[in-house]
Amino acid sequence: MDYSFKPDGTVLKCVMTGEFTFTDHPTFRNMIDDAVKTGTRSIQLDLQDVEYIDSAGLGMFLVANERAGEEGWKFSISNPREKVQKMFTLAKLETIVTITNA
Amino acid sequence: MPNSSNDIAFDVIANRQILVVDDVKLLRDLITSILRQAGFTNIEHAENGQEAMLKVTANPPDIIILDLMMPIMDGMEVCRLVREIEDTAAIPIIVQTAMHDNEERLKAFAAGASDLVTKPVNALELVIRTKLHLKNLILTENREKYRARVADELATAKDVQQNILPSPQNLREIRAQTGLNISSVCQPSSELGGDFWGANVLENSSIGFYVTDFSGHGVVSALNTIRLHTLLFNVGEAWQKPDQLLSDINQNLCDMLPTGQYATMIIGLISPEDNTLSYAGAAAPPPIYGIWEKPEEFTYLDTTGLPLGVSKVATYDLQTVPFTENHFLFSFSDALIETKLNDGTFLEGEELINLVKNLTRSKANSQLLDQLIASFFENGGNDLRDDLTAICFDYL
């Protein structure tokens, strides 16, 4: 997984690309750390270019979501592709994390 | 375990075998005396390359100190040969060369020298380099021992994990008691994984079963499967209420697991008496369900639900569908649908349903599971990232 930051108004978008799996754990943690350090109150993961997420990837979203609650910033996910959206739907992720298509 | 060669005491390397190869006796004796004075005790000699190779292949030394210009076989050739033989390829070779001859020094490295010492020999330099290479050798050996031990332990852990799965004997007993036939395939990936499943006969001859997969891979998932297995062990008649059992397990896992670790699961109850299948799902891959003779009605069951261990307020719905002697249920772990095949596609959605249709052709097929998995592997599914579990329930 690769990523880049794209500020969008008050939201800091993290545009992720490639596959997001078990081995991306350190990369993802660094990404969230760096995003939080910018001082933004809202972090959105853009999944437009993410082809595949495994179960560990979904787990990392849950961890980030919990951290957002503890630290008082807003966590959301946007633009999942069909295959990724299917996985989110099966796991009812939208009941835990805000998922938008914008 | 020491992490640097500085952490290794000299007495660990003092009696490692050093082979000194030089055609001039005076120089062999000089090098030997330098090494002995430094404390090394196990020093062998060879007068030329050929004799060196005989000794190296018969009883590989731990390090070679090698002259280049020798009769019969020179030092460059020794370097090349030692590197070519698998058993000796890693032996450090310190070559003696003249300081000013740059071309020769480069050639020596190209031939396979690990390091160079100047000629005429400088005692201190020779001792320092010999110590350094022997200590590095010890570090490498330690790491290899550690790697081998971990690999061995992981293999044992994998066995333990495989042992919690129902045995063929268990499945024969279930069939004898209830008429239900359960066939299964469990193909472990190279790593430890988080898949497992189980089935139990209840007092009224119903069969409770579950298929589950822990998030992630490796040791953490594997340990979690054992926790979950314990939660499901001897729950007795709790199987009669799959939704309630799933909720209970969720509550327990929420207490046990850190955020980010979770399990997906389906718990089902097949009643031969009522001809029904009741089930509750927590994000398990939807299984395929149908009547053998009615392929147009093959469908995925709804297993939508929050994964277990994520939220205590999660609720799980009970669903009930007919399950007669003409029905089958095909359940599987996500490795089946998430493994990229040779043609770049995935065996998911309509593709998977169509494969089941092609393998059954409106008729019951007791070999469905084996044939489906064989087809999956033929099309490139053997590059598994995760364990593959597939289970077929029927009355054939």
Q: How far is Cα B278 from Cα B269, in angstroms, rounded to an integer?
A: 5
Both B12 and B114 in one domain: the answer is yes
Is A58 at the interface with chain B, CB within 8 A? yes
CB contact set of B33 (below 8 Å; sequence gap of 6+): none
Q: Is the dihedral of CA B179, B185, B188, B193 positive or negative?
A: negative
Give counts: helices (H), strands (E), chain B: 12, 15
Q: How far is Cα B298 from Cα A89, in angstroms, rounded to an integer?
A: 21
List chain B residues with CB under 8 Å of A60.
260
Both B227 and B354 in one domain: the answer is yes
Whether residues B303 and A55 touch (CB distance < 8 A) is answered with: no
Three-class DSSP category at B335:
helix
List chain B residues with CB under 8 Å of A58.
215, 262, 307
Three-class DSSP category at B171:
helix
User: How many separate domains does chain A show?
Assistant: 1
Whether residues A95 and B306 touch (CB distance < 8 A) is answered with: yes
Question: In chain A, what is the straight-line distance between the N-terminal and C-terminal CA atoms, in Å?
Answer: 22
- Residue in chain B nearest A87 by alpha carbon: B283
Both B272 and B367 in one domain: the answer is yes
Task: Please list the residues that pair with B118 across neighbouring strands.
Answer: B97
Order of strands across the sheet with B181-187?
B181-187, B388-394, B327-332, B288-291, B299-300
Three-class DSSP category at B114:
coil
Distance of CA B279 to the CA centre of its chain: 33
Both B123 and B200 in one domain: the answer is no
Dump pLDDT digits (tens) for A35-64.
Answer: 999 999 999 999 999 999 988 899 999 999
CATH code of residue B174:
3.60.40.10
Residues of chain A with pLDDT under 70: none
Is A92 at the interface with chain B, CB within 8 A? yes
CATH code of residue B59:
3.40.50.2300
CATH code of residue A38:
3.30.750.24
Is B305 at the interface with chain A, CB within 8 A? yes
- Residue in chain A nearest B301 by alpha carbon: A90
Q: How far is Cα B103 from Cα A91, in angstroms, rounded to an integer?
A: 66
CA distance A58 to chain B (A): 8
Whether residues B311 and A96 touch (CB distance < 8 A) is answered with: yes
Both B124 and B181 in one domain: the answer is no
User: How many separate domains does chain B show?
Assistant: 2
Chain A window 29-48: which residues touch B at a Cβ cutoff of 8 Å?
Answer: none
Say which of A59, A66, A96 has its CB closest to residue B261: A59
Distance of CA B207 to the CA centre of its chain: 33
CB contact set of A58 (below 8 Å; sequence gap of 6+): A87, A88, A91, A93, B215, B262, B307
Count how many pairs of residues, chain A against chain B, have C-beta atoms within 8 Å: 57
Report yes or no on B158 lying in a domain. no
Domain housing A38 = 2-100
List chain B residues with CB under 8 Å of A59.
215-216, 259-262
Q: Is the dihedral of CA B26, B27, B33, B34 positive or negative?
A: positive
Three-class DSSP category at B192:
coil
Q: How far is Cα B83 from Cα B97, in angstroms, rounded to an integer?
A: 19
The whole-number pLDDT of residue A71 equals 96
Whether residues B264 and A66 touch (CB distance < 8 A) is answered with: no
Q: Is B93 left (phi over 0), alpha (psi -120 to 50) or beta?
A: beta
pLDDT in tens, chain B (396 residues): 667 777 889 999 999 999 999 999 999 999 999 999 999 999 999 999 999 999 999 999 999 999 999 999 999 999 999 999 999 999 999 999 877 788 888 999 999 999 999 888 999 999 999 999 999 999 999 999 999 999 899 888 888 888 889 999 999 999 999 999 999 998 877 678 888 999 999 999 999 999 999 887 788 888 898 889 999 988 888 999 999 999 999 999 999 999 889 999 999 999 999 999 999 999 999 999 999 999 999 999 999 999 999 999 899 999 999 999 999 999 999 889 988 889 888 899 999 999 999 999 999 999 999 999 999 999 887 778 778 899 999 999
List chain B residues with CB under 8 Å of A91.
264, 283, 304-307
Both B169 and B145 in one domain: the answer is no
Both B149 and B189 in one domain: the answer is no
CA distance B213 to chain A (A): 9
